[in-house]
């Protein structure tokens, strides 16, 4: 890659260096030859940034932004908007414009997915506790059934005065916030002059522009069955687009031949058991792609495929538990299966 770029530059110099022809301004690229990279841990996951920039403080400033979003949107950070909503005891409270934007998108996709996607799943998520001590054991069935009774997006009541969540209802933005934040961090970088790079926020991949050499980023679609680390089912070229994957192997455990994973059936609180092992969404932004990856996973292969086909500019790749890979019509000739 480095070699190619250097050769590219050498060729460009050679071409512009030969006299005699009309005076054409050489195409000068301001992007440095190597990206600046940063790996950090935010939002309960690994955050990677690979950005072509000369700006020495860009990545540390971006990390500070990540921290600000974590403090605003985390369910476990006391005093965050989400924590405040979950502890408001049925009172209407004010939230930041960022939180409001996320709640609006969540409600939109809850309706479109007929409730398969629902951020009021929070109490069920807490009982499974996939990120903490709960990993590996089943929750109490009665408690889970009671928590599932509390799920229902229509209970979120938003107006100019603020947001009202009935007492006992708990929201969880785990399926949507990372996508929103990925987009905001990309905007922040574009404002600081970045034209090329990519972000990976725990499976939320966002390409900023194309590669510095002008070609597309080729994004590997990870094998959601997690059989091998880094295994891919194919690749898709993107520029200024997001690729977001949801699957049964991201968080979860196996017990007595059953895979218990973190995408929950909003009717029962139990992990969604359908034919899917994973779904990747390709969309202009990570906010939509993240929300859709969870929603479409919960909808299943047939309904999910029809839903994505009905949306303009959004595509999906599905991997079943039987290892079949299918994709929506807009990826025909573009997705390269391995
Ligand atoms: P990841 O967190 O790996 O990016 P997802 O975007 O699919 O994966 O989000 C899964 C998370 O969303 C869960 O950990 C949980 O917090 C929350 N969640 C689980 N089931 C649902 C659902 N049916 N609707 C909305 N959010 C959900
Ligand atoms: Mg998601």
pLDDT in tens, 29-82: 567 879 999 999 999 999 999 999 999 999 999 999 999 999 999 999 999 999
Helix H or strand E segment including 308:
helix 301-309
DSSP state of 271: B
Average pLDDT over every residue of 242-261: 92
Q: 171 φ, ψ to 5°?
A: -100, 155
User: Which ligand number lies closest to the CA of residue 298?
Assistant: 1
Q: Using 50, 70 and 90 to split pLDDT, how confident is the model at 1?
A: very low
| DSSP SS3 for 131 | coil
| Ligand 1 centroid from CA 294, angstroms | 6
Which residue's C-alpha comes closest to atom 19 of ligand 1? 263
Signed CA dihedral, 217, 218, 222, 227: sign only = negative
Q: Which of 294, 296, 297, 304 has most ligand 1 atoms within 8 Å of CB, for mutation?
A: 294
pLDDT at 4 over 50: no
Q: Is 118 in the pocket of ligand 1 (CB under 6 A)?
A: yes
Long-range contacts of 330-334 (CB under 8 A, 24+ apart): 331/236, 331/282, 334/236, 334/237
pLDDT at 283: 98
Task: Quote the tokens at residue 230.
Answer: 């880094």
| Ligand 2 centroid from CA 296, angstroms | 9
| Ligand 2 centroid from CA 256, angstroms | 27
Q: Is 317 in the pocket of ligand 1 (CB under 6 A)?
A: no
Q: Is 315 in the pocket of ligand 1 (CB under 6 A)?
A: no
Which residue's C-alpha comes closest to atom 22 of ligand 1? 117
Q: Is 328 in the pocket of ligand 1 (CB under 6 A)?
A: no
Over residues 100-120, the pLDDT tens digits come to 999 999 999 999 999 999 999
Q: Which of 175, 177, 270 has most ligand 1 atoms within 8 Å of CB, for mutation?
A: 175
What order do you get walking across the sheet with 197-201 strand by strand? 36-42, 45-51, 197-201, 204-208, 242-247, 276-283, 315-320, 325-327
Which of 60, 335, 36 shows the shortest CA–CA distance to 196? Answer: 36
| Ligand 2 centroid from CA 175, angstroms | 4
User: Which ligand number lies closest to the CA of residue 292?
Assistant: 2
Give the nearest ligand 1 atom to 265 CA: 23
Beta-sheet pairing, 325-327 with 217-222: unpaired
Over residues 182-232, the pLDDT tens digits come to 999 999 999 999 999 999 999 999 999 999 999 999 999 988 766 566 789
Q: Which of 263, 267, 274, 277 has most ligand 1 atoms within 8 Å of CB, for mutation?
A: 263
pLDDT at 9: 25
pLDDT at 249: 83
Which residue's C-alpha comes closest to atom 12 of ligand 1? 175
204 touches 184 (CB < 8 A): no
Alpha helices for 34-191 (secondary structure H)? 58-73, 81-86, 97-112, 122-128, 141-149, 177-191
DSSP state of 147: H
Which of 296, 338, 285 shows the shortest CA–CA distance to 318? Answer: 296
CA 290, CA 155: separation in Å to the nearest integer?
23
Q: Is 119 in the pocket of ligand 1 (CB under 6 A)?
A: yes
pLDDT at 227: 58
Average pLDDT over every residue of 145-159: 98
Q: Is 264 in the pocket of ligand 1 (CB under 6 A)?
A: yes
168 touches 85 (CB < 8 A): no
| Ligand 2 centroid from CA 176, angstroms | 5
Give the nearest ligand 1 atom to 250 CA: 3
Give the nearest ligand 1 atom to 172 CA: 16
Q: 259 φ, ψ to 5°?
A: -90, 115
Q: Using 50, 70 and 90 to split pLDDT, how confident is the model at 12?
A: very low
pLDDT at 157: 98
pTM of the shown model: 0.90
| Ligand 1 centroid from CA 57, angstroms | 32
Which residue's C-alpha comes closest to atom 16 of ligand 1? 174
């Amino acid at each position: 890659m480095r070699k190619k770029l250097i050769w590219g530059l050498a060729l460009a110099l050679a071409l512009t260096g030969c006299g005699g022809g009309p005076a054409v301004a050489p195409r000068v690229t301001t992007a440095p030859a190597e990206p600046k990279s940063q790996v950090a841990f935010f939002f309960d996951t690994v955050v990677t940034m690979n950005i072509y920039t000369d700006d020495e403080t860009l990545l540390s400033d971006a990390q500070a932004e990540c921290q600000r979003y974590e403090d605003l949107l985390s369910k476990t950070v006391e005093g965050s908007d989400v924590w405040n909503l979950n502890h408001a005891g049925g009172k209407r409270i004010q939230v930041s414009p960022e939180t409001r934007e996320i709640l609006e998108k969540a409600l939109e996709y809850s309706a479109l997915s007929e409730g398969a996607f629902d951020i009021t799943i929070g109490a069920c998520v807490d009982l499974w506790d996939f990120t903490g001590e709960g990993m590996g054991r089943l929750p109490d069935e009665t408690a889970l059934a009671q928590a599932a009774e509390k799920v229902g997006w229509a209970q979120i009541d938003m107006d100019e005065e603020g947001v009202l969540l009935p007492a006992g209802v708990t929201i969880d933005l785990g399926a949507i916030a990372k996508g929103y934040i990925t987009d905001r961090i990309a905007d922040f970088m574009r404002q600081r002059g970045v034209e090329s790079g990519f972000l990976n926020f725990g499976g939320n991949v966002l390409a900023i522009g194309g590669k510095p050499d002008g070609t597309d980023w080729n994004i590997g679609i990870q094998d959601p069955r997690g059989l091998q680390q880094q295994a891919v089912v194919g690749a898709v070229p993107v520029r200024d687009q997001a690729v977001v994957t949801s699957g049964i192997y991201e968080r979860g455990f196996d017990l007595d031949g059953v895979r218990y994973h973190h995408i929950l059936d909003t009717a029962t609180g139990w992990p969604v058991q359908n034919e899917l092992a994973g779904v990747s969404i390709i969309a202009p932004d990570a906010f939509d792609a993240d929300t859709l990856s969870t929603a479409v996973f919960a909808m299943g292969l047939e309904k999910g495929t029809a839903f994505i086909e009905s949306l303009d500019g959004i595509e999906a790749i599905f991997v079943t538990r039987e290892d079949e890979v299918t994709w929506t019509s807009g990826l025909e000739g573009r997705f390269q299966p391995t």
